[in-house]
Structure 1
Amino acid sequence: MNGGGGLDALTGRRAALRLAAAHLAAAGIPDAEREARFLVMGLLGLEPRDLALDGDRPVGEAAPLVRAALDRRAMGEPVARILGAWEFWGLPFVLVPETLVPRPDTETVVEAALAALPDRTAPLRILDLGTGSGCILVALLSELPRAVGIGLDRSEPALRAARTNAIANGTGGRALVACGNWCDPLRGPFDLVVSNPPYIAAGDIPGLDREVAQHDPRAALDGGADGLDAYRQILGSLGRGRLLKPGAPAVVEIGYDQAEAVRTIGIAAGLRVAKLSRDLPGHDRALTFTH
């Protein structure tokens, strides 16, 4: 098979999808048809109706771009990295190499946070630790019309992306970003703290799927020798009582097998465990603490 599935400028849109799916399937990419659809339609800026109404229109001058993208995906680069954007909570987010690809599992954090708030119309202050693309903070602000939030991250490129995403999704006037290491530069109190920290044990990272191990930023994955370093810092700071309002929730994403370990860290820091939330496949995914 030719590079990029043999697409040329005269290939129609529907035909391009078929060729792309065959190319990715031949490369061993799981769910090749779905992957090809996301990639080709994203690159061409198409909606489903465009295929229904004008599916025979040639891809034209975009053909080289599509061929190159298909070859990148066949080599294991995720669709989201190739497109430089992905969807989370029904909202679009631009990505940079320093940010994780937003994943459906992380929507569990948003759901748990919203469930822990007694009044969504209240004027709340939110803190998102390790904000990355800003997906958690922006999703929450989209649901909480009077809330304001701070996204903290060590990476300045990530913070620029978070700021771009907040503006693009209509929450820029209520979202600030700040550069810092976890809770160090901050003063509370906050009505809600959320975080999706790095929680992979350092020695396990090389064994992750290549889409993650080779393309996600290591700083956003590496949780230290046992995967729990970030929780010790975050929950320790929260336990000292200066960041959370009394009774306010803090929601952290966890690995599927980390609930008991993170629970223990939180209790030792003086926090109370309010809830364990599971993701759609049924894995432990978020812990809600209160002070």
Structure 2
Amino acid sequence: MTETDLPPRLTRLTFHGPFSEARAARTVDRLGRTMPTRVLDIGCGWGELMLRVLDAVPGATGVGVDLDTESLARGRANAEARGLGGRVEFVEGSAAETDHGPADLVLCLGASHALSRAEPPRHIAEALDALRRTVVPGGRVLLGEGFWQRPPTAAELDAMWPDAHAGEYQDLAGLVELAVSAGFRPSWIETADAGEWEDFESGYQSDVEEWLATHPDHPLAAETRERVDRHRASWLKGYRGVLGMAYL
């Protein structure tokens, strides 16, 4: 079996999260005005937002850290295609075990778990402490973190990921209070909307669904179909409209 026989991964997604082009443009403008010289992207994936910041701030350099070799390769290819290859480095490794700071702009989008081995929700406080040590005085951190939009019901928790529980996340106010307790001051607070979530969840599975339609008898089809059905049910019956994503 060759790699081309396997389902493609995440090619329909520009960002690995509920993050629209409009929000990206506003965010890059907001962060670019601070004129960072060094950007650190923790749990970067393919580092799309980092690359856009570097493109907007001539002379800035960046480092992205992640464990996913496929995503890192995509980031390197995107950087080269945009003429940014000499200004950015994509590093395979654990953010908690490697030291790539300090930086004057730190991005951590949906990757707080990379900075703490604690069980949720304590990992968020530990990640915030780690981020505080990673950014230079006067610098900026963009944190993308989950929160409960409302308390989940027992049925919704049962439909989510294994061992999901109501104490796993804070509400938005509680999340912001954790950030303030860690020494941050929130200069901007916004949350992903329903359209961004639907674009992300649909894009997350679209590649695989297209592949299943054209490979119904593939040896991996049954296993793959079960996996995507389980994920879709987790979203639609579990965390849709319940789990939010805040950008602080």
Length-normalised TM-score, structure 1: 0.48
Tell me how far 1:125 sits from its aligned partner.
Answer: 0.5
Query: Which residue is equivalent to 1:287?
Result: 247
> What is the CA–CA distance in structure 2 between the aligned matches of 1:179 and 1:238, rounded to whole Å?
19
Matched letter for residue 107 of structure 2: V
Query: Which residue is equivalent to 1:105?
Result: 19
1:137 aligns with 2:50: yes
Query: Which residue is equivalent to 1:188?
Result: 101
Equivalenced residue count is: 172
Tell me how far 1:179 sits from its aligned partner.
Answer: 2.3
Pair 244,123 (structure 1): closer, same or farther in 2 beyond 3 Å? closer
- Listed as ranges, the matches of 1:25-174 within 5 Å are 82=8, 85-86=11-12, 88=14, 102-103=16-17, 105=19, 107=21, 108=23, 111-112=26-27, 114-119=29-34, 122=35, 124-174=37-87
Matched letter for residue 234 of structure 1: A
> What is the CA–CA distance in structure 1 between the aligned matches of 2:247 and 2:100, rounded to whole Å?
23
> What is the CA–CA distance in structure 1 between the aligned matches of 2:45 and 2:54, rounded to whole Å?
16
Gaps of at least 5 residues in structure 2 are 1-5, 149-170, 197-243
The structure with higher relative contact order (CA 8 Å, sep 6+) is 2
Pair 227,160 (structure 1): closer, same or farther in 2 beyond 3 Å? farther
Give the % identical residues: 25
Tell me how far 1:263 sits from its aligned partner.
Answer: 1.6
Contact 2:63–2:100 under 8 Å retained in 1:
no
Length-normalised TM-score, structure 2: 0.55
Instruction: Please say which structure displays the higher CA radius of gyration.
Output: 1
Range 267-276 or range 257-266, more displaced: 257-266
Gaps of at least 5 residues in structure 1 are 1-71, 73-80, 89-100, 200-218
> What is the CA–CA distance in structure 2 between the aligned matches of 1:197 and 1:84, rounded to whole Å?
16
1:102-142 Cα offsets, whole Å, 9 max, x none, are 455265366335314435xx461001110112212122222
Pair 110,271 (structure 1): closer, same or farther in 2 beyond 3 Å? farther
Matched letter for residue 11 of structure 2: A
Pair 83,179 (structure 1): closer, same or farther in 2 beyond 3 Å? closer
1:254 aligns with 2:119: no
Contact 1:127–1:194 under 8 Å retained in 2:
yes
Range 266-275 or range 244-253, more displaced: 266-275
Tell me how far 1:169 sits from its aligned partner.
Answer: 2.7
Contact 1:267–1:273 under 8 Å retained in 2:
yes
